[in-house]
Amino acid sequence: MSDSASSAATSPSPEEATFAGGCFWCLEAAFNRLQGVLHAESGYSNGEHPQPDYESVCTGRTGHAEVVRVRFDPARVSYQQLLEVFFFLHDPTTLNRQGNDVGTQYRSGIYTHSVDQAAQARALIEQLSASGVYASPIVTEVAPVSNYHPAEAYHQGYVAQNPYQGYCAVVVAPKLDKFRRTFSELLKPEA
């Protein structure tokens, strides 16, 4: 067996992680820049409406959060590292709000795909809470992922396609610059 065939046979299968932390454009743009992330997709999750879309989610009546579903290679980036990036990218202490984005669709949430993910998320929340890094309590919900739907095509890769759009230039770009400086060792070469 060749080395590449041997390593492919022992490589772990890709995993998924789902995060809600305000507008999905910023989270998607950041996660897509990480080594080991195969794909990050904007979507809606953990609501009641059977077929959510952007317009209905923005009313706040579907119960969905704007989320990013991350497909990743755990041999190249760990779930723990994804959690650390997630907490860096948003304020987990504001209930149903990130900056000027207000509503339940902008809540902070970690929607887990396994019992192990839930345990890791809760452990990090406990650690961050005990550290005093945040002046206010963390309000991030941890729950199993449910009723996930991809967002419309125009939301996918939005920041990359619209870097000069007002929100992207004023809100997302500075956050991504800080993210790149802080997590430079985890970034893909082209990021």
Q: Which residues are paired to 149 by β-bridges?
A: 44
3-state class (DSSP) for residue 150: strand
DSSP state string for 59-127: TT-S--EEEEEEEE-TTTS-HHHHHHHHHHHS-TTSTTEETTEESGGG-EEEEESSHHHHHHHHHHHHH
Asked if 168 is an active-site residue, the reply is no
Longest dimension (CA), the chain: 56
Q: What radius of gyration do the chain's Cα atoms show?
A: 17
Per-residue pLDDT, 24: 96
Phi, psi of 19, deg, nearest 5: -130, 140
Tell me how far CA of residue 190 lies from CA of 33, 55, 87, 184, 185, in angstroms. 8, 34, 23, 11, 12
Catalytic residue among 23, 26, 58, 168: 23
Q: What pLDDT was estimated at residue 9?
A: 57
Q: Which whole number is the average pLDDT over 62-83?
A: 98
How high is the pLDDT of residue 1?
A: 46
For residue 110, give the nearest of 136, 139, 134 by alpha carbon. Answer: 139
Residue 133, pLDDT score: 94
In a domain, 19, yes or no: yes
Within a domain: residue 188? no
Q: How many domains does the chain have?
A: 1
Within a domain: 191: no
| 97 inside domain | yes
pLDDT tens sequence across 24-44: 999 999 999 999 999 999 999
- pLDDT tens digits, one per residue of 160-169: 999 999 999 9
Report which of 144, 145, 174, 140 is spatially closest to residue 159, judged by C-alpha positions.
Answer: 174
166 to 53, 162, 169: CA distances (angstroms): 22, 9, 5
Tokens of 65: 């959060």
Which domain CATH number covers 45? 3.30.1060.10
> Is the predicted pLDDT of residue 111 greater than 60, yes or no?
yes
Q: Is residue 190 part of a domain?
A: no
Q: Is residue 147 part of a domain?
A: yes
Confidence of residue 190 (pLDDT cuts 50, 70, 90): confident
Answer whether residue 96 is part of any domain. yes
In a domain, 159, yes or no: yes
Range of the domain at 25: 15-182
pTM over 0.75, yes/no: yes
The share of the chain scoring above pLDDT 70, in percent, equals 94
Rounded to an integer, what is the distance from CA 186 to the centroid of its chain?
15
